[in-house]
Structure 1
């Protein structure tokens, strides 16, 4: 094993020193000669990990010694090196788009770091392993920007761009700006105008400090935890702390790549959720989620393109002399460059991702040509753009030009025309998703929209049809933006009577259709073939019956072969059935049959979670099992009975009762029980009841995950709920709490305590805190 056989002393010899913490190691690696964008690139002075010093950069070993055999000193050194190497690999992959290791190798290094941090308690706040997202926040706080994030005047007319150029030249000449003359060349930086969500990201002494949305330009929403999960946003800047500004606030655009957007929408539709209309909405909606772990699961990326604040040292300065950050002497913090172009070079040297299609031009006609060239390749890009941005390159000239109350006077947006055409609706069909959601689709007389032939467009839901008043035969406008599903924003000429009449029964199984707000659903449930694959996948999920080997590909094979036409058919499969499937041998067939057989008598909570009852996840399923004890008792429970269950309100109670009353669902459950699939009655554990009668709510970060704190309360007879009410006894406030729960506690007169008070209260009841792992 290339690195694992080296003892502590040898490891230290290879790094050129003794033990260091995470920051020391990175300072050593960053300060050595060489570095930059590749193992052989000696043009940059900063990198996260030097291949000559760190074995996990180039051709890293992945056959690690068992964690249990390592000393703490060895584990700490290895973890330090892994953190530095993973930062380098993140930079190569997410910023330079030039990875030097395979995904499998990266995953092996990442998993090893996770194992080391957990086994030896080596986790650091800025470790790459912490990008999975922290505890949910109660609400997004408002924060003030380092500098105003203003808008940009825009046009689709090239003459307006030329007028912008004339105005800039005239105003600089009138101000007798240095260098203006008859042969003066006015440089512009041209870049794509990204169609995403603008954010401010702030670094203090090279470390990621905070992030905020643009908001009203002066203040925005605090999305520090959410942005921290984006892998293209480095947790620390490249270079030692003395080699970067003491404060650097940059403006960037968060977006979702096109391919990832399509996959995200496909998954949403399979879950019966409304698809995002476009990548920008998807990015904006994701970044404002209160749960950072959800943001971490979304494929967000970012480009950086402006400096809002650049402070050097305690006093801070914005330099007027152009300085290329790549030429700075190690240990000397770079002054702010004198041009936008040099700023972009500096940002790149710090590890912040810039767009590779940005260009520096010396004439407004070149800027117009850049826009035309960019428009020609916009559909080939991995991200959505709606034009270009033209900026005066000289920062001193920008300072002279100034701003208006809402926009920069030194920048101008030259937009692309909207991609819309008109055509006729030939037919409207209704598709049934895997969760039963019905989606109407308009089949169109094919029309060319922005160079792409469009023959179908989504109508989203019945409410959208009614709002548009659209029907077969109508002349409509079709809008398309890149790879976004085309949609109809308006009816141009009404040629039919009234809107399309949405079907009252499912076009697949003929079950009644029910409306839920603007959406429509098939009530066929487990008996609807269109929903079957999704129902089976849900049945086998880890948080349901956990049937290994019954993933989406296998389910699709079973359905395509006609072997499974209903959920109970899973328990009619035999060895010969499975052996007929491609990729199934005798062993894999036996394994799947054994998994299915083991799922015949599941615990009642897991069985209820597996059924796919609307709004019944693992927690609600457990509460239902605790309240009713047996499946038969639940099947006979009234809505009033259901409403007595914790976290089951009027709406959820109605959905549960409606699902259980569904004829096909009842038939499916009965058939499963006839085949021997019958859940075990739920037996309430007789545990300690020291906290019986007490209800707790938690907010902010504790020394352990909040879920663990809730489990302690429940294990000792208390209740832990997610919201404050008049029945709450204590609100436990951790670090960085949200405001809404504290405000609710004040309104309801609920006592607020911190974690130390909580520990004392538990100690009074003989309960240890924090709990043992």
Structure 2
């Protein structure tokens, strides 16, 4: 019987399959077995041999079929390919001792140091040949197989022991769960887990476009992925692995697998005589090695190998920072031994650092809170003024067109004011034309519109990226200053589905749901609920700043609040009326008018009203009594909302920030304050004021309406100007 007849999923898998719920148990068991075998075969062809025989879509269909069959009939196995989607989250990573020490390597970027290494090898063990390999810039790993089955994977750690990351490494498809061929009964191999450059750029593009911070470089992305406590997160990362050393190999598994600690090489039971034999044999077991490895006759051949590879560095789909030169003969390696830190039989010849010029791997579109799309060049990491840079601003579509920048081009990167990296010019054109913006937002698929040189997503607050940034801004110092709702917690709320459509969702949060989130407790949930309740009556200017009208910050918001008095008047103001306000020009007036004309934005404002948010029009205090003083609040004030207190301070010339530093003059400590700000105040010798002391400091507003006057006005059916609310805008 042919291989194809035995397993129909190896080549040209059938399109039509029996529905899973119509399979008998024996049929399901047989199909699961065939699917596992086929998927292992296709994984090996794709990852180890770089020679796939079926399309990616077909592979995905077979993989999902195996998932469905296993789940429907309870047929999951320890070594099933479906384990690659990730298992249960871990509480912590356990520490495990290595089979053999995983030591470091001497290194230098100078050819003379390499020649000195070669002379020393000749003196100590005679004329030798060398195995040369790329020095991968990833994460070193020990992987152990017993009887051909994946047993465990351990990070390098301190060289003697490391973290058990088996659950995460199982998710990497280029690392087989089961060996093939004539493998040893016990095999411990050393490899390098890495993220391919193209996959890294694509992954970073996705992170930027959904509002997450991109990884600085592939190595950081790999290291963070491998040490996740939730294997399903690792499974989502595009990781790969090269193997390059056998730490121990035996046909008799009765041994302990320990290496001679003095020599740093496996004991005499190992089955390989040379490093080159390892490189050529590991693929027979299904373990991926690097195709650029070479065997050379002497150290000059190793230097030539390095010089050739440095010229090809940019064309490789993985990061390397040099080459590794190893004495080929394993017996000679044992004789040479090791120090307490590094092998004496290996040397790393490093590449020079990239400086200033690098390749653009991807262009990501970052969506701001106002919908503005900022193009970001995702770069092969490059040193710019002593800082490793992996992304740089392209500013806007007009500048991209002017500079003719595109993916694949080599560009010169500079840092504006020695801080913000930007693409200065194209130094080598490797593409045709320039990067053109898509027709729709990469996050919400809404149409993209151009306004001169700037591009905008038209999705408004319905765009997920704009939603994340708008919620963060709404709660920030520039918005309503909602303590306890920083960026990480906003991300938690979005990921948990507690905030899905707009900032109005904040006022529908449930205390029990908050307590159920990681890192939250009863106290933090109660504090946030109280902060949200306090934020329901903000000054109009603070509310206008918080809702994210393009080009309207706190200063412009104050001018608008003073000019129109209430939200209803502002929402109905014409462009001409808006232009009549100080500091409001034609462009800003148009932006304000478009914001309030948007049905989506008006819907969100209605939802805020329904949630109880009532922005107040207040008379601005003026004076310079607090000029030059900086205040921070913690806890709630008994007689004012925090927004009212902030308005008062700023009207008297002071400023309010969200965190304590050496520049802070006073920390106002209200009811149920947090601990971190008080600790920072103590560390920075900042004066604390209780609410009464704060009121004494700012004094009494003689023009303010008294409670008695207010009651009399209400009894007469009159309305104070500071009582007109958002509700009036929707009558």
Same fold per superposition (TM over 0.5): yes
Residues 411, 115 of structure 1: CA spacing in aligned structure 2 closer, same or farther, 3 A cutoff?
same
Match of 1:348 among 279, 283, 305: 283
Aligned counterparts of 2:288 and 2:89: Cα–Cα separation in 1: 27
| Per-residue CA distance 1:424-461 (angstroms, 9 max, x = gap) | xxxxxxx9644679999999xxxxx89xxxxx98579x
Q: Which residue of 1 aligns with 2:93?
A: 140
Aligned counterparts of 2:311 and 2:507: Cα–Cα separation in 1: 65
Aligned counterparts of 1:309 and 1:70: Cα–Cα separation in 2: 44
Aligned counterparts of 1:54 and 1:308: Cα–Cα separation in 2: 35
Q: Which residue of 1 aligns with 2:707?
A: none
Deviation of 1:53 after TM superposition, in Å, equals 3.1
Query: 1:387-426 alignment to 2 at 5 Å?
Result: 387-421=322-356
Match of 1:305 among 240, 244, 252: 244
Aligned counterparts of 2:210 and 2:231: Cα–Cα separation in 1: 21
Q: Which residue of 2 aligns with 1:583?
A: none
Q: Which residue of 2 aligns with 1:3?
A: none
| Per-residue CA distance 1:184-221 (angstroms, 9 max, x = gap) | 5x221110010111111111111111111111111112
Q: Does residue 1:338 correspond to 2:231, yes or no?
A: no
Q: Which residue of 2 aligns with 1:371?
A: 306
| Per-residue CA distance 1:531-565 (angstroms, 9 max, x = gap) | x977972xxxxxxxxxxxxxx3xx246899x9983
Q: Does residue 1:617 correspond to 2:494, yes or no?
A: yes
| Per-residue CA distance 1:228-268 (angstroms, 9 max, x = gap) | 110011011113xxx42222111111111111111111122
Q: Does residue 1:199 correspond to 2:141, yes or no?
A: yes
TM-score by length of 2: 0.56
Structure 1: gaps spanning 5 or more residues: 1-13, 16-49, 174-183, 321-333, 424-430, 444-448, 451-455, 461-481, 501-529, 538-551, 571-611, 683-773
Deviation of 1:363 after TM superposition, in Å, equals 1.8
Deviation of 1:311 after TM superposition, in Å, equals 2.5
Q: Which residue of 2 aligns with 1:65?
A: 18
| SS of the residue 1:152 aligns to | strand
- Contact 1:568–1:675 (CA under 8 A) maintained in structure 2: no
| SS of the residue 1:389 aligns to | strand
- Contact 1:439–1:459 (CA under 8 A) maintained in structure 2: no
Aligned counterparts of 1:109 and 1:62: Cα–Cα separation in 2: 10
Q: Does residue 1:162 correspond to 2:39, yes or no?
A: no
| SS of the residue 1:147 aligns to | coil
- Contact 1:387–1:414 (CA under 8 A) maintained in structure 2: yes
Q: Which residue of 1 aligns with 2:209?
A: 270
Aligned counterparts of 2:257 and 2:311: Cα–Cα separation in 1: 38
Aligned counterparts of 1:556 and 1:203: Cα–Cα separation in 2: 52
Residues 678, 100 of structure 1: CA spacing in aligned structure 2 closer, same or farther, 3 A cutoff?
farther
Aligned counterparts of 1:225 and 1:636: Cα–Cα separation in 2: 34
Q: Does residue 1:565 correspond to 2:504, yes or no?
A: no
Larger gyration radius, structure 1 or structure 2: 2
Deviation of 1:314 after TM superposition, in Å, equals 3.3
Residues 359, 653 of structure 1: CA spacing in aligned structure 2 closer, same or farther, 3 A cutoff?
farther
Q: Does residue 1:279 correspond to 2:279, yes or no?
A: no
- Contact 1:248–1:307 (CA under 8 A) maintained in structure 2: yes
Q: Which residue of 1 aligns with 2:153?
A: 211
Q: Which residue of 1 aligns with 2:106?
A: 153
Query: 1:415-454 alignment to 2 at 5 Å?
Result: 415-421=350-356, 433-434=367-368
Q: Which residue of 2 aligns with 1:739?
A: none
Aligned residues: 475
| Per-residue CA distance 1:82-120 (angstroms, 9 max, x = gap) | 100100000000111110111121122112212211222
Q: Which residue of 1 aligns with 2:164?
A: 222
Q: CA RMSD in A?
A: 5.0
Aligned counterparts of 2:339 and 2:61: Cα–Cα separation in 1: 52
Deviation of 1:399 after TM superposition, in Å, equals 0.2
| Per-residue CA distance 1:648-701 (angstroms, 9 max, x = gap) | 47579869969988234898899449669998999xxxxxxxxxxxxxxxxxxx
Match of 1:107 among 44, 57, 60: 60
| Per-residue CA distance 1:286-319 (angstroms, 9 max, x = gap) | 1112211111101000000001121321334999
Residues 675, 634 of structure 1: CA spacing in aligned structure 2 closer, same or farther, 3 A cutoff?
closer
Q: Which residue of 1 aligns with 2:180?
A: 238
Aligned counterparts of 1:267 and 1:235: Cα–Cα separation in 2: 29
Aligned counterparts of 1:299 and 1:91: Cα–Cα separation in 2: 16
Deviation of 1:124 after TM superposition, in Å, equals 1.2
Structure 2: gaps spanning 5 or more residues: 260-268, 359-364, 384-388, 394-407, 421-436, 464-488, 550-566, 568-594, 612-731
Residues 271, 204 of structure 1: CA spacing in aligned structure 2 closer, same or farther, 3 A cutoff?
same
- Contact 2:441–2:457 (CA under 8 A) maintained in structure 1: no
TM-score by length of 1: 0.53
